[in-house]
Structures are given as structure tokens and as C-alpha cells.
Amino acid sequence: MPCLMNCARAALLWAAVTAHGAAVPEQSEVPAQAEVPAQAEVPAQAEVPERVSAPPTAPGPATGLADSAALRATVYGTPPQDMAPLPNRVPLAEINLALPRARPVPDVFWFDRKLRVWFSAQDKPAPLAIVISGTGSDGNTAKLSALRGVLYGAGYHVLTMPSPTFPGFIVSASSTGVAGDLMQDGHDLYAAMQEIVRRLPRKVKITEIDVLGYSLGGANAAIVKSIDAKEGKLNIHRAVMIDPPVSLFASIGRLDKLFTQSIGAGDAGIEQLYRRLYAQLANLYRASDRVQIDEDFLLGAAAGILKTDAEFSAAIALSFRIDLVNVFFAGDLYAGTGVVTDPKHPPKVGDSLEATQRLLRSKPFSEYFSKVFAPYYLQHRPNSTPASLIADNRLDIIGDALSNNPDYYAQTNADDLILDTRELAWLRQTLGSKIAVYHHGGHLGNIGERQQVSDMLDMLAGRWRGAAK
Amino acid sequence: MRPVLLAALMTAALGGCASESLSIHSLPPQDPAAENAAAVASTAAFAAAAASAETAKEAGGSGPASEAVPPVTAADAPSMYTYDPWERLNRFTYRFNARFDEAIFLPVSNTYRRIPPPIRAGVHNFFGNLSEVDSVINYALQWRLKLGARSLGRFVINSTIGIGGLIDVAKMLKLPGAPTGLSTTLAKWGMHPGPYLVIPLLGPSTLRDGLGFVGDYATSYGIDVAKLYRGDKSWALGTLNAVDQRANIDFRYYATGSPFEYENIRFLYVRKRLIEDEGLHAKLAKKGEKSTTQQENEVNEPAGK
């Protein structure tokens, strides 16, 4: 059988290494620590209706608090032998839901019409844990599977949801199509959660609702709880943030910087990376005695190719850029900002998108902010400024609740690359005894690990009494 | 029997694409404990293999194939563009495949995955064993007699001791499968992959791989081992074969949610096949002969042409 996607896994790994990787055009380098004045201007981008500069790049290293070991943990994830005990049987159902207030779906997103979530039901009354995925990811990642396993094992009904930055969510559940605003995404998530919970089978008996999430999903979870505190539709009890960002745009700015440093500038950067990887894989494959490329080969190849910090950094920056390409495309299409799609003639089903993708992969987040995100939100939010948009995307907006309300918890790592020293200090100070900080784990490199899981379950159940160490 | 099956499939299809606002499908239950145990085992095996490869390298044995031809360099890599003159048709077929998969193939294979793993493994081995016949012929056509003998040996062992192919005894005897087909034979004799081609129901391919698939089927049909390909029950076996194949592929159309999925899959599929061609030619090449990409890659020609 020659085809039938026998390369599905291969595809994913390759995608992570090459497909969208791109380089940052030089002019997009934002001077570090630039303050953003309300009416900031970017020269040479005259056609942008609202002239906005990109958010300031965070000072300090592009890898935040991460050291070599943290970069490796981030890429490889939790070693299987360190995982908390998992149950033998977890029932699973897939729920596809068309939300009542959904807007027309653009042609090219025909497959994302419905919101897709996954649900595991206990057969007795139980608390419901709603878990939100990380940036750009759907509701069924390997990390979510690990969390689902331990939560189900601990007696929860488990509902896993995509990130509001996942294309499927943007199309089926976002009310703006322009993803990445904490409050807006929180409201969209909250609305979707209500609809899902309302329509779960009647035999599912829910005693209380808790929310959690990892990475951006952690911040989303806390925001959703804070919205619920005002609106009271779900009566969410506790929220646990796993490795959350503190300042969304500072974290992303670091990833942009990491991309420029590890992969290079201009479309030439990605071309070079692709050629190098192709040659490396071809030579490894030749030296092997295999008759086709399979998963084992690719795992071995990854170990052979990823050796230096720069290579691990490139893998991390690339996987973020792959997600950004989708967010950027959807935002531009919905907001009609015309950066890569013509608002008057949007692409149709069957049109080639190769040129668009090529354009997008060399665009950093700062460009999404200045050309799509800020123009859209400045227009729709009276009295907002670019600076206020950036400030609105910090966890500070719910800082009081985080520090005063005993039902918000966090877990993070002292070597997380999306944080810097100040941000970690802010988390510790704000959450006080409601945060667990682990020495090692990088970004999400210890999800499902024994200590992380036992602390998380304690937090969710209100048993957490502060770090033992 | 056939009309009944068709009717059942149509019902499943209609049910699958019904436009009601909510659908809840129950999936086969997960077994995270077993999955993690398997991951622990494979991590250990992987580490052991890496360690032994390291020792072998220190003992002085460098890759046997790498000496015959100069290594591939970055400059040899094919263009990032892919030759796809039939893109409109291909995109249409891709979309059709995605809908078909979502409506029929995936639900059926999810149901199939509830059957206990040992039984499914038997089915998988059975079809794998049948395909050895085609592998033997193609290894002969490629003049790779050692591999051909291995496939023949596997077929004989598994068909007898392995109870008609249900058990992969040969693998336990350190004779793991190494399937090949007409597409590789064509590659060996110098045929380029040709344009990218999305085949209805099967998915990503190239012209050469498509021809190879047809040829492989024709070979099996012509030989008609145990009258499985032409008898009354051949359609049922064909369906089971397809379901078995689908259930063993961990892929779902548009699971990435990305509007660029067609581009990504095309890119990856063609690069994967080109690297496999590299390997094939390097292994066959005599000293001094240039590698495929070095011969063919007149920079920026779309890959695959």
C-alpha cells in the first residue's frame, strides 16, 4: 500500500521541524524595552489603517528562565517512567457542537464548523473538571490525555477543551475571530462551556465544577473563573493554572526573539533550516537498514538531530510559529485587515493557499499584533490604546482575585521559558501559599509527573496546604 | 449481502453528516496505564538501541551505505515547492476523502477498534502476510535477492507455523517484515515520482506511487493466493483489509484545524518519499555514482517533478 497517509506520524514530526518554519524579517525586530506610546508609529507600514507598534520585547534572554535541561524537558515532555499512576480504563466520548450564536463560516474553514470537545463520564455523581488546552492546540493532546487519565482516576468527570487560539475554536466559538485577547477569549470559552454543560446527557450528575488548563489555557481557566464569579452561570468552584504566562505578550515576544536567534531572519532562514534537516534526515536514513521511514526512525532521527541548545530552541520556536500561522490567518480573514487575504475576495475552497502560507510563516507575533489584533480591538473598544491592549493581557487584570480568593491555584517551574524572574516573583507574591513552584520541568515538561499530579489533585479538592518542601 | 452492507454504510454516512447541532459519539475507551507502560518499554528499548549503535560506531564500523556515495548536503535538498499540476482536482479529492473518512471510515474503524487487540493483531498479520507475495516479486524485480529471500522466508514460515499468517512467527525469529512494492521497483529503474496525486479513498500519493498501487493490486489479483482475491468473499476481505489499514493509522483529517493542511500533507508526503528514494539509490549505487537528488535537483525545480 503506497499511500493512505502511512506517514501520518512522520508528517507531524516533520511538520514540527520544517513545514511552516520561517524566519523573522529584519525590520520586525522591535527594539528591546521600547515603551509603547499611545499613538506609536511604525514607518514603512503605511497601508495599515491604525498605526500601531508591536508590543515591547521583554528584556532578558529569549529563553526566559530556562537552562539547557529545561529546553530538553520542554521538547521531550515528562519521561513516561515519571508519570503518576494512571487508570486502566477511561471511557471517552467525542462531542461535536454547533453553538447557537455561531457566525457564518468562511469557505476555507468548512471543516471547523462545529466545536469539538472530549468528555469522560463517571457513572455516579461526581465533580466535573474542565481542562483547557495550550496555545493553538485542540482538546485531545497527549498532555490533555495524561491529565484526563489522572483526573478520571481521581473520580472526576473530565471535559477537555481546545484553546481559544485553536483554529477550530476560532471558527466555531469565537465571537470575534481575532484570538489572543484574554478577556474576550475568556468570555467565548465561558459561553461555550455553558452550552456544553447544558447539553451533556442527563444521566451525567455533576456535583461541582472546577476549571484548569496548561500554559495559555491556565490563564484562560483563571479568567473564566473570574467571569463566572460575576455572572454565576456555572458556579465554578476552583481554578488551577499549570505553567501559565503572566504577561501574554511578553512571553510571546520572547518566543519571537527565540525564533530570530535560533532560526534566523528572512525567508532564507526557513529555507536553510529545511535544507539542513532534509540532508540530515536523508543521510541518517541512508545509513539505516530500513526500507521505509517510520515512527521509530523519526524518533531516532530526532535524537540524532536535536543536540545543542540552539537546536532545541529552534524546535520550540518553530512549534509556536506553526500555531501562530493559523491564528494570524484566521484573524486577518475575520477582521478583514487584508494583510494576507483580500477582504473583498476571500480565498475559496479549492484555492491554493501555498503563497499565503509562505507569506505568513515569516511573520512574527509582533506583526499580528500591530496589523490585525490592535487595529481590530482599537476599533471595537472605545478608549483603548495599544498600551491598554497590552496591559489587558496580563494576569494582573485578575490580580486581586488571584491573591484574595482562596480558590485560585497555580503550579509552575522555576526554569519555565515563558517566564522571567520578575514574572515568577509576581506569581509567588500574588498567589502566596496557593502556588507550587518546582525546580525543574521547563515549560510543561513535568505535566502528569507524580508530584505535579498529587499537588494538582490536592489543589482541586481544596486539600492543598502549601508546598511541603 | 453486498446491498445490505452498502445500505448500512449509507446509513452510517447519513448519520455521520447529519447537521443536527449536537452529536455525541462514544469512542473506544482509553487505557492510559497500558499506554504508559508501553512508552516506558519503548523508551528503554530505544535507549538500549542507541547505546549499542554507539558501541558499534566506536568499534569502527561506519554506515555501510554512506561510503558508496557522497553524503547528501543542504544544497542537494529539493525545492520547498511541490510539483502539483493537478492541484484543483487533488484538492477536490482531498476534501472528498476527508468527508468520507469522517462519515464512514473513521466510525467503522472506531467500532472495529473495540475488538480485543490480539484478534486485531491477527487480522493485521494475516493481510501483512498476504502482501509478502507481492514483496517477493518486487524484490526480485529490483534485483535485491537477499531481501526477497527474507520476504519469501517470512511468507513460508508465517503461512505454516504462523497458522495462515495470523501470527508473525518470523518476527519473533528476528526476521521482521520489510514490505516493498511496484512503486519502489519503478523508482529503482529510474522513474521519477511525478506529479503529486491524491487518490480517492486512499489519500496522498504521487503518479508513480499510484501506478505502483494499481500494479500491486493487479499482481495480487493475478496470483490470487488461496482464491482470496477473486472468490465470492473477496469483497468482504477487501473491506476488512481496508478497515484494518485505517484502524492502524493514527491520523484524522483536519485534526490540526489548519486551513493549510493540504499544503502540509503534500509537503511532508513528497519529502518522505524523496528521502526513501535517496536511501534506495544510495544502497544500490556503485561507487562514484551520484545520488538521485544530486542528479535531479536543478535548483528550484518543484520537488517530485
| pLDDT tens, position by position, B139-181 | 999 999 999 999 999 999 999 999 999 999 999 998 999 999 9
Per-chain mean pLDDT for chain A: 87
SS3 of residue B289 by DSSP: coil
Q: Does B205 touch chain A (CB under 8 A)?
A: yes
pLDDT in tens, B74-106: 999 999 999 999 999 999 999 999 999 999 999
Assess contact for A166 and A114: CB atoms under 8 A. no
pLDDT in tens, A187-206: 999 999 999 999 999 999 99
* Chain B residues close to A319, C-beta within 8 Å: none
Name residues 221-280 of chain B within 8 A of A (Cβ): 245-246, 249-251, 253-260, 262-265, 267-269, 271-272, 275-276, 278-279
Grid cell of B137 as nine digits: 516479486
Grid cell of A54 as nine digits: 508591536
Grid cell of B106 as nine digits: 473513521
A170-179, A256-265, B62-71, B93-102: least confident range: B62-71
Single pTM value for the model: 0.87
Residue B9 — pLDDT band, cuts 50, 70, 90?
Answer: low
Residue B47 — pLDDT band, cuts 50, 70, 90?
Answer: confident
Grid cell of A404 as nine digits: 484574595
Residue A51 — pLDDT band, cuts 50, 70, 90?
Answer: low
Of residues B1 and A64, the one with the higher pLDDT is A64
CB contact under 8 A, A286 and B213: no
CB contact under 8 A, A3 and B269: yes
Other CB atoms within a 10 A radius of the CB of residue A368 amount to 27
Instruction: Please give the C-alpha separations between residue B145 and each of B131, B140, B179, in angstroms, as whole numbers.
Output: 17, 6, 14
Q: Does B180 touch chain A (CB under 8 A)?
A: yes
CB contact under 8 A, A149 and B32: yes
pLDDT in tens, A67-115: 999 999 999 999 999 999 999 999 999 999 999 876 788 999 999 999 9
> 3-state secondary structure string, chain A?
CCCCCCCHHHHHHHHHHHHCCCCECHHHCCCECCCCCCCCCCCCCCCCCCCCCCCCECCCCCCCCCCHHHHHHHHHCCCHHHECCCCCCEEEEEEEECCCCCCCCCHHHHHHCCEEEEEECCCCCEEEEEEECCCCCCCCCHHHHHHHHHHHHCCCEEEEECCCCCHHHHHHHCCCCCCCCHHHHHHHHHHHHHHHHHCCCCCCCEEEEEEEEECHHHHHHHHHHHHHHHHCCCCEEEEEEECCCCEHHHHHHHHHHHHHHHCCECHHHHHHHHHHHHHHHHHHHHHCCCCCCCHHHHHHHHHHHCCCHHHHHHHHHHHHHHHHHHHHHHHHHHHCCCCCCCCCCCCCCCCCCHHHHHHHHCCCHHHHHHHHHHHHHHHHCCCCCHHHHHHCCEHHHHHHHHHHCCCEEEEEECCCCCCCHHHHHHHHHHHHHHEEEECCCCCCCCCCEHHHHHHHHHHHHCCCCCCCC
- The answer to whether residue B281 scores a pLDDT higher than 80 is yes
- Which chain B residue has its CA at the smallest distance from A114's CA? B21
Grid cell of A73 as nine digits: 524537558
Query: Which one of A79, A90, A279 has the shortest CB-CB distance to B32?
Result: A90
- The answer to whether residue A388 scores a pLDDT higher than 70 is yes
Shortest Cα distance, chain B CAs vs residue A5, angstroms: 6
Grid cell of A325 as nine digits: 500561522
Task: Select the CATH number that applies to the domain covering A80-247+395-461 from these four: 3.40.50.1820, 3.50.40.10, 3.50.50.60, 3.40.50.300.
Answer: 3.40.50.1820
Distance, in Å, from the CA atom of B194 to the CA atom of A298, rounded to the nearest integer, reads: 25
Query: Which one of A15, A79, A293 has the shortest CB-CB distance to B43?
Result: A79
Q: Does B193 touch chain A (CB under 8 A)?
A: no
Distance, in Å, from the CA atom of A147 to the CA atom of A236, rounded to the nearest integer, reads: 19
pLDDT in the model for residue B86? 96
- Which chain B residue has its CA at the smallest distance from A94's CA? B25
* Chain B residues close to A201, C-beta within 8 Å: 24
Question: In a 10 Å sphere around its CB, with 0-12 CB exposed, 13-18 middle and 19+ buried, how is residue B249 labelled?
Answer: middle
Instruction: Quote the percentage of chain B above a pLDDT of 70.
Output: 83
Distance, in Å, from the CA atom of A355 to the CA atom of A361, rounded to the nearest integer, reads: 10
Assess contact for A277 and A18: CB atoms under 8 A. yes
Shortest Cα distance, chain A CAs vs residue B78, angstroms: 8
pLDDT in the model for residue B58? 67
The full set of domain ranges for chain A reads: 52-78+250-390, 80-247+395-461
Shortest Cα distance, chain B CAs vs residue A239, angstroms: 24
Shortest Cα distance, chain A CAs vs residue B125, angstroms: 14
pLDDT in tens, A296-353: 888 888 888 899 999 999 999 999 999 999 999 999 999 999 999 999 999 998 899 9
Query: Which one of A4, A201, A286 has the shortest CB-CB distance to B249?
Result: A4
Distance, in Å, from the CA atom of A192 to the CA atom of A220, rounded to the nearest integer, reads: 13
- Which chain A residue has its CA at the smallest distance from B91's CA? A350
CB contact under 8 A, A357 and B282: no
pLDDT in tens, B208-226: 999 999 999 999 999 888 8
Distance, in Å, from the CA atom of B55 to the CA atom of B142, rounded to the nearest integer, reads: 33
* Chain A residues close to B205, C-beta within 8 Å: 2-3
A29-33, A115-119, B161-165, B285-289: least confident range: A29-33
Other CB atoms within a 10 A radius of the CB of residue B3 amount to 7
